[in-house]
Structure 1
Amino acid sequence: MNMGLEIKSEVGFRGALPFLSTLVLLVMMQLQYRVFFLDNLFPFLSLAAVYYWCIFKPQLMPVSVVFLLGILQDILSGGPLGMMALLLVLVRIFVVWQSSRFLEREFLFNWLGFIFITLAFGLGTWVIASIYLKQSQNFWDSFGQSMVTIAVFPVVFLTLGWVRNLLVKESR
């Protein structure tokens, strides 16, 4: 009975909140902030959002939506088309597959899982970009971007938790 109420309440705007919040973070990544030491180190905010929503509301972040967000990010960033889509879909598959280990755990456990995923994600972006561009890219930029992403994850987690509470309040 409650499941039907939850599904019903997640249709429409509130059901689109995971997609919309990830889209906002994705667009924020593409804005050209002129911070002298962070030009190439802006965090993978879309990764943090996909990770979060795939733990707490995976039904609202299906593979098709993750793929669309990844393609959009590739187009906006001018990177290899399909790179972010592939990596984000792989993250989604892994997190949903392991969701029982992440759900209802303490924040530090989720952050530790995110650290490993982010490091693998950064390595993946470096490898794919190097292969695509046929020359080795600067590994330290990818590593630094991963470190910045790990550092800002608590803020993204709290912000998306607030958005998720909007979904929970509606179903009551």
Structure 2
Amino acid sequence: MKGKVWERLDFVARIMIPILVSLWLVVVSVLPLHMPEVSFVVPVLALMAVYYWGLHRADLLPAPAIFVIGFLQDILSGGPLGIHTLTFLAVYGICVSQRRFFYGKSFFVVWWGFMVVTGGALTLEWALISVFLEQLVSLRSIFFKYLLTIALYPAVAWLFARMQRTLPVVQ
């Protein structure tokens, strides 16, 4: 009987990896860096998780979890509520709808897709923040956030791929 309990706990822990890692990335992305001019240019780590898991294992990172991740990002970042939630859900919807296209493609095609989706997501985020603040926000910080996010994606995707190997098949 003990073996069954531990096997079940191990199974549950493994299927929670994408959600827990995504939540951890939200927390990491809002940690204060205490560096002038750098605090506004941080990569959108949670967006990387939403994109990767949306393409590869959407069953382990469902839309309600994306909502919670986006809402937590909004709360911890101090921005207007709903902006990251909407952005992450839009990215997730795109990923889930385009899974067949990206399935079996090389990493560079998937990375190119990430560049396009991230560009659209950050443009949406910029537009929503500009509407909320009733003034155009500088595109400079968004541009550098975009560059940093797409530059870090290969390393983060490599880590996600290693994690994915340990995940069980859910039926």
**For the aligned residues, what is the CA RMSD?**
1.9
Aligned length: 163
Structure 2 residue ranges without an equivalent (≥5): 1-7
Q: CA deviation at 1:35?
A: 3.9
Structure 2 CA distance for aligned equivalents of residues 11 and 93 of structure 1: 27
Alignment-mate amino acid for residue 97 of structure 2: W
Q: CA deviation at 1:163?
A: 1.1
TM-score (norm 1): 0.89
What is aligned with 2:32? 32
Structure 2 CA distance for aligned equivalents of residues 136 and 11 of structure 1: 48
Alignment-mate amino acid for residue 20 of structure 1: L
Structure 2 counterparts to residues 106-121 of structure 1, below 5 A: 106-121=106-121
Alignment-mate amino acid for residue 62 of structure 1: P
Encode CA deviations 1:86-124: one digit per residue, 9 max, x unaligned: 010011111100100112211100000000011111111
Structure 2 CA distance for aligned equivalents of residues 162 and 9 of structure 1: 21
What is aligned with 1:126? 126
Structure 2 CA distance for aligned equivalents of residues 159 and 97 of structure 1: 24
Encode CA deviations 1:6-59: one digit per residue, 9 max, x unaligned: xx8995111100001111111110101134453211001000010000111001
Structure 1 CA distance for aligned equivalents of residues 110 and 36 of structure 2: 31
TM-score (norm 2): 0.89
Change (3 A) 1:134 1:99: same
Structure 1 CA distance for aligned equivalents of residues 153 and 71 of structure 2: 22
Structure 1 residue ranges without an equivalent (≥5): 1-7
1:167 and 2:153 matched: no
Which 4+ runs in 1 deviate beyond 4 A? 8-11
Secondary structure in structure 2 of the residue aligned to 1:79? coil
